[in-house]
Amino acid sequence: MINLGIIGAGRIGRVHVESICTQVPGAKVKTLADPEIDGVLICSSTDTHASISIEAIEAGKHVFCEKPVDHDIGKIKQVMSALEKHPVKYQVGFNRHFDHNFQAVQEAVAAGEIGQPHIIRITSRDPEPPSIDYVKVSGGMFLDMTIHDFDMARFLAGCNAEEIYVQAAVLVDPAIGEAGDVDTAVITMKMENGSLVAIDNSRKAVYGYDQRVEVFGADGMVSVSNDTTSSAVISNANGVTGEKPLYFFLERYMQAYAKEIRSFVNAIQEDTETPLGIVDGLEAVRMGLAAKKSLEEHRPVKISEI
């Protein structure tokens, strides 16, 4: 039995507690003070992730850390150093790797079903923007929201990014612009395997959480659409109408959240690599910082510049 402590009592922390209680056999939640704690889930605010990670690592506890590890590359490298000295399990919370749809795409690509990937398209749009207070501390849309898409590009391409270019704007809410951020973006990347990536983001899709990917390759294409509550379709004088996508990440990724914790627990139990390590956390942040630089300097930016 693996004993896990949860740090941070926000929405995502509660999601993990519920998963562990009902869907993660072999693990249970304990208070942090308990000396029998095997690992911690860091679900507190981003600015605390790195320091708590290091503390936990040094105490010999396994760590599951929500994304992003930090907005600062230096701090992530400190976590890496700690891990070198104390090789506990470390997993970053890129939950979309565990989504049934994206897994099916990744598996098809990895199995060679579409041949060498040429073009990866990622659509990622939220149903509504966060509060302006949150926007101000979020690190900007690229480190807060697009970071999942950067990670997705790596997941699907099976390699790192080489270069990034951002075209972005404030189209949803001028207050987001006043807070120094953008809310709409089209992002181009070149991956190390030569494939090209097009990401499009919006902070507000009135029809719900829009999360689709498509990988086009030498031998075909694999794509996924959104999930809905049911497949019900109503045909009437107004048209043929199906349901909107599931509303937001809690609805869409509930199963994925449980799966990522099971994979973390499993890595502890079996003493194997976690599926998403500190390097994955690092690379996604580098891409986010490159995106910010591209927007500021209005030019394509090499990841190696970061």
Tell me which residues in 16-45 interact with its own copies (CB under 8 A): 22-23
Report the sign of the C-alpha dihedral through residues 169, 173, 178, 181, in that order: negative
* Ranges within 235-264 binding its own copies (CB under 8 A): 235-245
Total length of the chain: 306
Q: How many residues bind its own copies (CB under 8 A)?
A: 73
- By CB under 8 A, the residues from 137 to 196 that bind its own copies are 163, 165, 167-169, 171-172, 184-190, 194-196
Q: Does 234 engage in binding with its own copies (CB under 8 A)?
A: yes
Binding to its own copies, residues 54-93 (CB under 8 A): none
Q: Write each residue from 269 to 298 as x if it is in contact with its own copies (CB under 8 A), else as -, in one continuous string.
A: -----------------------------x
> What residue type is assigned to position 93 of the chain?
G
Question: Which one of 38, 126, 210, 260 is in contact with its own copies (CB under 8 A)?
Answer: 210
- 123's enclosing H/E stretch is strand 117-125
The residue (of 32 and 104) whose beta carbon lies closer to its own copies is: 104
Q: Is residue 206 at the binding interface for its own copies, with CB under 8 A as the rule?
A: yes
Please select the residue that binds its own copies; options are 103, 160, 266, 269, rule is CB under 8 A. 103
Q: How far is the CB of 194 from its own copies (least distance, A)?
A: 6
Angle at 187 between CA 197 and CA 74, to 5 degrees: 95
Does residue 111 touch its own copies according to CB under 8 A? no
Shortest Cβ 217–its own copies spacing (Å): 9
Q: Interior CA angle at 110 toward 107 and 114, to 5°? A: 95
Burial 188-222 (b: 16+ CB within 10 A, else e): ebbbeeebebebbbbbebeebbbbbbbbbbeeebb
**Which H, E and C letters describe 73-92, residue by residue?**
HHHHHHHHHHHHHCCCCEEE
Please give the Cα distance from 208 to 145 (Å, whole number).
15
Tell me how far, at minimum, the Cβ of 102 lies from its own copies, in Å: 9
Upper half-sphere CA count for residue 300 (Cβ side, 13 Å): 8
* Closest-CA residue to 276 (of 38, 87, 98): 98
Q: Pick the closer one to its own copies by CB: 67 or 252.
A: 252
Q: Which is nearer to its own copies, 184 or 274 (CB)?
A: 184
